């Protein structure tokens, strides 16, 4: 356990919203959706799409997030299905963070519905156990935003993350300093963040399912089985070791957008138009975050639910709609050439993100020897400003203006 110079142990909390998308959907329509117990957010009542979040009532029927809406409705036929209220979710997430920033000195947004807090050094200020602080923060968030949260806490980010799962829904679970190993011993290996299905299966083949069962395996054997880097990582994770810090300036790792169509798309033209809309969305988010991307990924889910993807990493980072669309369109063409069938979902993801440079200061129509890339970047930033002022549909590419 890491200590600071005064010998104090870290005090880290993870604030995790309970069924966040469900809560926001209910807040947006309190007299309608707000009174529904069996609620699915994501997809459509016809069964297309996937579940983004399910109410706790629906979860009792076996419904889970990322499940196809059709399967969810087979398990819970009486459920009500509504779309994801994305704008409202973004606004509510901002409200939660603003509230937390009045309660903790360091706040990091881990996702739209998860926030890490670093309370180290606040022991004298609050003069209360960490568990009491967590309950007080939970109550304050609920009062300020009407959103219920669960809070996990401990000396490390990973411990706080795992503890928050124990606290759901609407509770608090704190792992005291010195009890990390005992806490980890009671978990399945699959519960450790970063241990995915493939690694879980490899461990299972060696008779290892519980953390307690794997603790007796020497690090040398883990490195032989899974490689030196992954073996060392797993050895440390099983013991609750995590050196990552709560950083309010931690950069985004990816930006993505996807769309499930109400009716399968069959033509290249329709898919390219949908792709352009997605590229428009992700590059706007990219520029707003003052970032550029080097890796573009296109995801395609066929009508028979087969999911495929292609990625490309470019030499120079991109931020413009046109350049990103140019790469994405080629990736889509590659996917279509390998399997021409109807498509039910299309997605675009941007990774390998880095800080964007400052824009050169020059007139839009000056006859100067400027690179096409720089001129495109400037034009996109001008369009961003117009969209912020007059609405998202103020300026649209001609190809999608009829949508």
pLDDT at residue 68, as a whole number: 87
CA distance 84 to 177: 39
pLDDT at residue 93, as a whole number: 92
Q: What is the mean pLDDT of residues 155-172?
A: 93
Q: What is the mean pLDDT of residues 95-124?
A: 88
Q: Which residue has the higher pLDDT, 360 or 19?
A: 19
CA distance 377 to 397: 16
The number of helix segments (H) and strand segments (E) in the chain equals 15, 12
pTM value is 0.69
Report cis status (omega within 30 of 0) of the bond before 169: yes
Q: Is 330 a catalytic residue?
A: no
pLDDT surpasses 50 at 6: no
- The candidate with the shortest Cα–Cα distance to 234, out of 251, 248, 217, is 217
pLDDT digits (tens, 9 = 90+) for 240-292: 888 777 877 766 678 888 888 888 999 999 999 999 999 988 988 888 878 88
Q: Which of 114, 180, 272, 319 is catalytic?
A: 114
CA distance 360 to 377: 10
């Amino acid at each position: 356990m890491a200590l600071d110079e005064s010998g104090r142990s870290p005090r880290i909390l993870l604030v995790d919203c309970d069924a966040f998308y469900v809560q926001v959907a209910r807040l947006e329509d309190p007299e309608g959706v707000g009174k529904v117990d069996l609620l699915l957010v994501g997809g459509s009542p016809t069964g297309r799409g996937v579940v983004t979040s399910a109410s706790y009532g629906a979860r009792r029927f076996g419904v889970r997030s990322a499940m196809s809406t059709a399967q969810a409705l087979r398990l819970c036929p009486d459920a009500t299905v509504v779309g994801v209220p994305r704008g409202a979710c973004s606004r509510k997430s901002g409200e939660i963070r603003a509230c937390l920033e009045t309660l903790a000195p360091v706040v990091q947004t881990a996702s739209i519905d998860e926030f890490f807090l670093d309370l180290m050094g606040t022991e004298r200020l609050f003069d209360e156990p960490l568990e009491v602080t967590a309950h007080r923060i939970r109550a304050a968030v609920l009062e300020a935003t009407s959103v219920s949260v669960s809070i996990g806490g401990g000396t490390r980010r990973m411990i706080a993350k795992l503890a928050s799962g124990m606290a759901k829904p609407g509770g608090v679970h704190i792992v005291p300093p010195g009890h990390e190993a005992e806490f980890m011993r009671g978990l399945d290996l699959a519960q450790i963040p970063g241990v995915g299905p493939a690694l879980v299966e490899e461990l299972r083949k060696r008779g290892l399912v519980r953390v307690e069962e794997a603790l007796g395996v020497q690090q040398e054997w883990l490195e032989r089985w899974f490689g030196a880097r992954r073996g060392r990582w797993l050895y440390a994770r099983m013991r609750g070791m995590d050196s990552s810090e709560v950083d309010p300036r931690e950069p985004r790792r990816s930006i993505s957008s996807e769309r499930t169509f109400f009716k399968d798309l069959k033509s290249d033209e329709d898919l390219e138009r949908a792709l352009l809309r997605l590229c428009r969305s992700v590059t706007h988010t990219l520029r707003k975050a003052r970032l550029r991307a080097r890796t573009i990924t296109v995801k395609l889910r066929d009508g028979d639910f087969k999911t495929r993807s292609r990625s490309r990493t470019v030499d120079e980072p991109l931020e413009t709609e046109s350049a990103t669309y140019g790469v994405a369109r080629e990736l889509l063409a590659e996917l279509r050439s390998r399997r021409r069938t109807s498509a039910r979902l299309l997605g675009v993801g941007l990774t390998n993100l880095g800080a964007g440079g400052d824009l050169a200061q020059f007139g839009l129509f000056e006859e100067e020897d400027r690179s096409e890339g720089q001129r495109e970047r400037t034009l996109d930033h001008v369009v961003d400003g117009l969209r912020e002022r007059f609405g998202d549909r103020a300026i649209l590419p001609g190809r999608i203006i009829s949508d």
